[in-house]
């Protein structure tokens, strides 16, 4: 099973793809998509295009994303909701099933500690997935954690 994990952001969007076979995980691909355009709508078009290319290049079976959470900044939450909507639409366009996970559940699955910080998540992602020779970006490692959480929770 090939799992796509997504860590949405309006400027930086984490991608992580894992293969799960017989209870073992293998890192297939991960990256951080930097959305550079100043215009939000053009950034969303870029995100759509990148997700379309990614799902065409990697025949993923399932996708997972962190559940939205309520923050204090309404504008940021509104923008993030739109980003999540674009990602959801791109997945639906490919008929990919999507599962949502709470941040605490994701951290617990990967690190064993539901309140792990971003550095702990990045270190454990590299360790558990045997990623050597490069440092994982925070968005990238969060996306891998989401994919890992899905693999652990989906039988």
Residue 40 in tokens: 């939000």
Distance CA 150, CA 29 (A): 16
Q: For the domain bounded by 2-153, which CATH number is listed? A: 3.30.420.10
Burial of 152 per CB tally in 10 Å (0-12, 13-18, 19+): middle
130-148 tens-digit pLDDT:
999 899 999 999 999 999 9
For residue 125, pLDDT beyond 90: yes
Is this structure's pTM higher than 0.85?
yes
For residue 119, pLDDT beyond 90: yes
63: number of CA atoms within 13 Å, CB side? 26
60-102 tens-digit pLDDT:
999 999 987 666 778 888 899 999 999 999 999 999 999 999 9
As annotated, the active-site residues are 7, 66, 139
Q: What is the pLDDT of residue 70?
A: 65
CA distance to 45, 48, 56, per residue, from 145 (Å): 26, 22, 22
For the chain, the structural domain boundaries read 2-153
Distance CA 97, CA 29 (A): 19
């Amino acid at each position: 099973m090939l799992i796509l994990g997504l860590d949405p952001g309006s400027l930086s969007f984490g991608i992580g793809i894992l293969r799960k076979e017989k209870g073992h995980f293998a890192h297939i691909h991960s990256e951080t998509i930097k959305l550079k355009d100043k215009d939000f709508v053009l950034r969303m078009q870029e995100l759509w295009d990148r997700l379309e290319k990614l799902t065409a290049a990697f025949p993923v079976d399932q996708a997972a994303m962190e559940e939205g959470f309520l923050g204090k900044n309404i504008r940021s939450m509104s923008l993030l909701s739109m980003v999540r909507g674009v990602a959801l639409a791109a997945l639906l366009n490919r008929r990919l099933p999507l599962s949502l996970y709470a941040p605490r559940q994701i951290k617990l699955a990967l690190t064993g500690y539901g309140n792990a910080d971003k550095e702990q998540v990045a270190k454990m992602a590299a360790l558990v997935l045997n990623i050597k020779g490069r440092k994982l970006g925070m968005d990238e490692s969060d996306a891998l954690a989401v994919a890992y959480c899905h693999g652990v929770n989906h039988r």
